């Protein structure tokens, strides 16, 4: 049985201006995530990948379709009913700078979801220490403010916050794209490691096919609000069928001058053929 089931999801945003028609950014997307699995969601800016994540998180309201979590419809849930889901679904955002409140200490940031779930202060404090340990940060981080940490460390803090309530699903919205290369690799290793130990499922949103390939079991490719291709990570990222996925694959530059030259020629040939 799948953990998350999205069927024919549509999301519209109000148009700009008085009585403007709403703009539909997702035109009926269906996908599913099984327990303990990573589904990579790839697309460029404006493809609607972030909107899917926000709909699952209850931050945008779908205009059509269903979002089922453990067989229960959560698409239109509001208020208390929605808040009840927070120990099952968590999030790690892209920007490690704005995702932590600059004036609240790390300890308080991490304790917030726990206390909201009804943990006592003392339990929360103990749990915060074990969370920091889990993401490889020293426990004296509790007293410090976000600005004292680097981007990679902040992202670890954000991961710790998401792990706090022991969720079944974490929506990772471009969690490593703002990080340096070496940091990126370490954060991804951490995410995979956590998944192996806890069996949490990831909905992993990224524009970077290489990142997605390294962390996902399955991959879905989005293009302008439609899902164009989905399947096992190996298949989609090495033998793509849809022309857009092919284009995406060829466009990513590789760190090897000879291979990159070959890929460039191939891409130009493909563009010329389609033109």
Partner 1 sequence: MTRRIEPVTKAVSAPSTESIATVQAAEVAASRTPIWKKLLRDPQAVITVSILVIVFALGVLTPLIALHGPNESDLSMVNAPPGTPGYPLGADESGRDIFSRLLHSINTAAIAALIGTGVALVVGIIAGLIGGYFGRVTRASTEWIFSLIMTFPGLLLLIILMPVTGGDYRATMLIFGVLLAPGIYRIVRNLVLGVKNELYVDAARVSGVGTLRILGRHVLTVVRGPIIIAAAFMVGSTIAVQSGLAFLGVGSLEVPSFGAMISSGFRNLYIAPTQFLWPSLLLGLITASLVLLGNSLRDAFEGSRPKPSKVGAGQHVAERAEDTVLVGADALLAVRGLRIAYPTPSGDLNEVVKGVDLEITRGEVLGLVGESGSGKSQTAFATLGVLPNEAVVTAGSILFEGRELIGLSDAAMRPLRGKEIAYIPQEPMSNLDPSYRVGAQLVEGVRAALPVSKKEAKERVLALLERCGINEPARTFDSYPHQISGGMAQRVLIAGAVASRPKLLIADEPTTALDVTVQAEILDLLRDLQTELGMAVLIVTHNFGVVADLCDRIAVMQQGRIVESGTAAEIFRAPEHEYTKALLGAILDEAAYRTDPPVAPAPEGAIA
Residue 213 as a binder of partner 1 (CB under 8 A): the answer is: yes
* Per-residue binding letters, 142-171, with partner 1 (x by CB under 8 A): ---x-xx--x------x--x-xxxx-x---
**Which is nearer to partner 1, 8 or 51 (by Cβ)?**
51
Helices (DSSP H) in 135-224: which residue ranges?
151-163, 181-198, 209-215
* Per-residue binding letters, 182-201, with partner 1 (x by CB under 8 A): x-xx--x---x--xxxxxxx
| Residue 169, helix vs strand vs coil | strand
Structure-token match 């990570």, residue found: 233
Q: Tally the residues of the chain.
A: 275
Question: In the set 2, 30, 66, 116, which binds partner 1 (CB under 8 A)?
Answer: 116
Determine the Cα–Cα distance for residues 215 and 31; give it in Å rounded to an integer. 18
Residue 23 as a binder of partner 1 (CB under 8 A): the answer is: no
**Which is nearer to partner 1, 8 or 44 (by Cβ)?**
44
Which of 36, 33, 15, 37 minimizes the C-alpha distance to 24?
15
**Which is nearer to partner 1, 58 or 75 (by Cβ)?**
58
Question: In the set 13, 73, 139, 254, which binds partner 1 (CB under 8 A)?
Answer: 254
CB of 133 to partner 1, least distance (A): 9
State which of positions 75-104 bind partner 1 (CB under 8 A). Answer: 83-87, 89-91, 93-95, 98-101, 103-104
Question: In the set 62, 107, 113, 240, which binds partner 1 (CB under 8 A)?
Answer: 113
Q: In what order do the strands lie in the sheet with 89-92?
A: 89-92, 169-173, 201-206, 38-42, 218-223, 226-232
Question: In the set 32, 77, 247, 270, which binds partner 1 (CB under 8 A)?
Answer: 247
With contacts defined by CB under 8 A, name the span among 5-13, 21-29, 64-72, 107-115 that binds partner 1.
107-115
**Which is nearer to partner 1, 8 or 256 (by Cβ)?**
256
**Which is nearer to partner 1, 30 or 185 (by Cβ)?**
185
Determine the Cα–Cα distance for residues 148 and 90; give it in Å rounded to an integer. 24
Which of 181, 208, 229 minimizes the C-alpha distance to 45?
208
CB of 181 to partner 1, least distance (A): 4
Is 165 in contact with 198 (CB distance < 8 Å)? no
Question: In the set 8, 123, 140, 256, which binds partner 1 (CB under 8 A)?
Answer: 256
DSSP 142: G
Is 200 in contact with 168 (CB distance < 8 Å)? yes
DSSP 123: H
With contacts defined by CB under 8 A, name the span among 4-12, 23-31, 64-72, 106-114 that binds partner 1.
106-114
CB of 26 to partner 1, least distance (A): 18
Which of 26, 12, 29, 117 minimizes the C-alpha distance to 67?
29
């Amino acid at each position: 049985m799948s953990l998350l089931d999205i069927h024919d999801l549509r999301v519209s945003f109000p148009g700009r201006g008085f009585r403007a028609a709403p703009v539909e950014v997702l035109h009926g997307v269906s996908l599913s995530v099984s327990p303990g699995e990573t589904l990579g969601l790839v697309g460029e800016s404006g493809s609607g990948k972030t909107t899917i994540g926000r709909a699952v998180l209850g931050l945008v309201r779908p205009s059509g379709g269903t979002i089922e979590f453990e067989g229960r419809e959560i698409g239109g849930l509001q208020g208390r009913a929605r808040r009840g889901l927070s120990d099952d679904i968590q999030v790690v955002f892209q920007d490690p700078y704005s995702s932590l409140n600059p004036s609240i200490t790390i300890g308080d940031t991490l304790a917030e979801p726990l206390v909201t779930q009804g943990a006592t202060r003392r339990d929360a404090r103990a749990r915060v220490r074990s969370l920091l340990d889990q993401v490889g940060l020293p426990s004296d981080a509790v007293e410090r403010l976000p600005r004292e940490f680097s981007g990679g460390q902040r992202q670890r803090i954000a991961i710790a916050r998401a792990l706090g309530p022991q969720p079944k699903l974490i929506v990772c919205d471009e969690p490593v794209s703002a990080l340096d290369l070496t940091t990126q690799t370490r954060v991804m290793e951490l995410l995979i490691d956590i998944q192996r130990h806890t069996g949490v499922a990831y909905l992993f949103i990224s524009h970077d096919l290489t990142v997605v390939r390294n962390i996902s079991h399955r991959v879905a490719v989005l293009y302008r609000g439609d899902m164009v291709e989905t399947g096992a990570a190996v298949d989609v990222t090495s033998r793509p069928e849809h022309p857009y996925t092919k284009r995406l694959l060829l466009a990513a530059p590789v760190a090897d001058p000879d291979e990159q030259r070959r890929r460039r020629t191939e891409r130009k040939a493909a563009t010329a053929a389609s033109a």
